Structure 1
Amino acid sequence: MSDALRLLIADDHPMFRAALRHALGEVLPGAGIVEVASQSALEAAVAGGEAFDLAMLDLMMPGAMGFSSLVFARGQRPELPVVIISSNEHPRTIRRAQQFGASGFVPKSAPASVLGEAVTAVLAGKVWFPPLQAERDEGDAQLADRLAQLTPQQLRVLMRLADGLLNKQIAYELSLAENTVKIHVTAILRKLGCHSRTQAAVLVKGLSLEEESGGLHDQGNALR
């Protein structure tokens, strides 16, 4: 079965992508793997129509804002299971990944056997998360529900809006007419219940990650 599988890896570290590709090759020999290294490349890959069976996302790619890559992937392809691969192992980060729609979460410090267990479970239609110590957050649940109302294109516009881009800058970056961006912004504000662009930007900041001291970017032992 694995020779028919198509996997998407989204991570900006080439060495970690290589390690992840090797580990996945042990679990799913023959599976096809596509790699991307930024939020914009992820958007293009997910929106491109290729029938991926599983996406594996880092939360800290260029252009991403916290859980924005996860929210976009789930909004564009709700049938595509997503496993977060992150060096941020904070219990609330894991819980929030679950609330924003991930099917699994594997710390980058985990051995390859754990990755294999998680991937096998998710491909079988299950979920896989480390033991959780953080409680469900109703604010995150409400934010996820509000963002779920947006179309994939509106999510793209919202993320650029949150970065402080003007309509003409968003139009240029997304190859849209400026009037189309204005229409999207109006719809976004209405759906999110916001009265201004600033209010919408503050709302998106809720996707940001908590900082965790000690070893967040240490991937030296990952997937060994």
Structure 2
Amino acid sequence: MDRVLIADDHPLVRDGLRAVISLAFEGCELFEAATLDEALGVLGEGAEFDLVLLDLNMPGATGFDGLDRMVAQFPATPVVVVSGSHTAALVRGALAHGAAGFVPKSLRRSAIAEALRAVLDGEVYVPADIAEEITTEDAAEASIRRRIDLLTPQQRVVFGLMVAGRLNKQIAYELDVSMTTVKAHVSAVLAKLEVFNRTQAVILANRVGFPPVIPTRK
């Protein structure tokens, strides 16, 4: 590894990362930036960088917008997010926005060096505990989708209306069917989703992005 940019607005964090990289990658040329604009300016000077370590929340960046800009402008440069927060949702989001890895600031120095080596080898680095949590969440969401796939077309419409907050009598009116029919569909939906009530069903729908259905009866 020849050139690395450390983009973080905290001097102590930059110093710590500099120490890790200097020890693990002898001869590596290190650059620093305290704002997103500084970081983009350094990358735009023309020389190629092997790696960027990016703090998501620094001046000029909020959420994933800084990562988005960096990935869009320099798609060939691997960007590793370095963050004090490392929830599964945040890690998943960073990877979805193009990060080549996610390194918690709390990670021990030797582990940070191992993470950077993994990214340089073309791997996507995520801490083992977070990777396991994401895998578990993915499996749970896949199970929810399989259960939703069991619904008939009419049951999917009823489910979509349930997600939209419609009561049974409203569903009956909008679909022009009897209350008995609606209750049968709702019971079937709950059974196939393996839940006990509408609230639990809606929670599952929101978890996998199942859309609400709002038909307009003329």
TM-score with structure 1 setting the length: 0.57
Of structures 1 and 2, the one with the larger relative CO (CA 8 A, separation 6+) is 1
Q: Which amino acid aligns with 2:62?
A: M
Q: Which amino acid aligns with 1:79?
A: A
Quick one: which of 25, 42, 46 aligns to 2:43? Answer: 46
Indicate whether 1:37 and 2:50 are aligned.
no
The answer as to whether partners of 1:54 and 1:81 remain within 8 angstroms in 2 is yes
SS of the residue 2:122 aligns to: coil
The answer as to whether partners of 1:8 and 1:56 remain within 8 angstroms in 2 is yes
Q: Which amino acid aligns with 2:3?
A: R
The answer as to whether partners of 1:17 and 1:35 remain within 8 angstroms in 2 is yes
Instruction: State the match for 1:13 in structure 2.
Output: 10
Quick one: which of 45, 64, 67 aligns to 1:70? Answer: 67
More helix by share: 2
Q: Runs of 4+ in structure 1 displaced over 4 angstroms?
A: none
- Give the superposition deviation at 1:46: 2.1
The answer as to whether partners of 1:70 and 1:102 remain within 8 angstroms in 2 is yes
Instruction: State the match for 1:206 in structure 2.
Output: none
Instruction: State the match for 2:97 in structure 1.
Output: 100
Indicate whether 1:116 and 2:113 are aligned.
yes
Q: Which amino acid aligns with 2:67?
A: L
1:190-219 per-position Cα deviation (integer Å, ceiling 9, x unaligned): xxxxxxxxxxxxxxxxxxxxxxxxxxxxxx
SS of the residue 1:8 aligns to: strand
The structure whose Rg is larger is 2
Quick one: which of 79, 82, 88 aligns to 1:82? Answer: 79
Which structure 1 residue ranges, 5 or more long, are not aligned?
137-224
- The 5 A counterparts of 1:45-194 are 45-130=42-127, 131-132=130-131, 133-134=133-134, 135=137
SS of the residue 2:89 aligns to: helix
The answer as to whether partners of 1:106 and 1:114 remain within 8 angstroms in 2 is no
The answer as to whether partners of 1:46 and 1:76 remain within 8 angstroms in 2 is no
Q: Which amino acid aligns with 1:59?
A: L
Percent of aligned pairs with the same residue?
Answer: 41
SS of the residue 1:114 aligns to: helix
Q: Which amino acid aligns with 1:98?
A: L
Indicate whether 1:24 and 2:21 are aligned.
yes
- Give the superposition deviation at 1:79: 0.7
Q: Which amino acid aligns with 1:72?
A: R
Instruction: State the match for 1:174 in structure 2.
Output: none
SS of the residue 1:12 aligns to: coil
TM-score with structure 2 setting the length: 0.58
Which structure 2 residue ranges, 5 or more long, are not aligned?
139-218
Q: Which amino acid aligns with 2:22?
A: G
